[in-house]
Structure formats: structure tokens, C-alpha cells
Amino acid sequence: MVLFPTGTASCVPSATRGTSSLAFRSPLGTWLFDAGEGTQLQLQSAPVTKSKINRIFVTHAHGDHTFGLPGLLCFLGVDRARDPNQPIEIYGPEGLRSYLRSAVRYTSSRICPCYRVHELRDVPLAPGWRPWKTRGKVGG
């Protein structure tokens, strides 16, 4: 089992450090933790086989952990068959499915591989966040 930091600059990327992302390679496949912007670029220089990425975990919904997810999925979809029996499993806070569907639809992304989102309930997207259905009409 091997751990590869693919982004360690938090929300301030530089020419040599990308935003938050970490790859974990094991006999069960490669798991990616967070997908900040430019994760797909960082993966190209990491000793990680992109076709082996089978799980993505989003720790929370700040942009430096999520903005790269739609682009990453398209990057992974280039060399991967759209096999509904082998989707990329994505785990994250409630609201992640809606965010991802909106981003993929809005950009008409047709090269995304099959994926399945598992939302963790009662875990906020970010501190102070509440699901839309529980927000009031005024000031919510």
C-alpha cells in the first residue's frame, strides 16, 4: 500500500503544488481523497494508473476539495469504458450528487465514466451549511 500526495497546497496552488488531493494505492484499487482544481494534472506526474482509480472520497465541500471533481471524472473517462457494472464510487457529504450532476449537465460532459455517489447524511458540506430543504425562505 502506498500513499501519494497529489495536491498539498490547500486553496493556494502554485506551479509545483496543486490543491488538495491524495491518492492511496492498494490491492483493492486506487482511492483518491479530495479533488481540488488541477488534480488531473497532478495525477499525470504521480505514479498512479488512472484506470485503477475506483473510489473518490470528498472530505468536505470547500472548493479546494471539490472544484476539480467534474474535470477529474472527464479525465478518467477518456480511457475508460462506460461500464455501469464498474462505476467509480464517490463518497462525500449530502449535496455532492446534486453538485456533480449540475456540473456535468451544465458543461455537456459526455466523456464522464459511470459513477455512483454515496452521500453521507448528517455530515455538513461545510461548517454552517444546512440542506436546502431545511432552509427557511427568508435569510436562509
| Active site positions, annotated | 64
- Provide φ and ψ at 31, rounded to 5°: -110, 135
Residues 66 and 32 sit within 8 Å (Cβ to Cβ): no
Residues facing residue 31 across a β-bridge: 24, 55
| CA angle, 116 then 133 then 70, to 5° | 35
DSSP secondary structure letter of residue 112: P
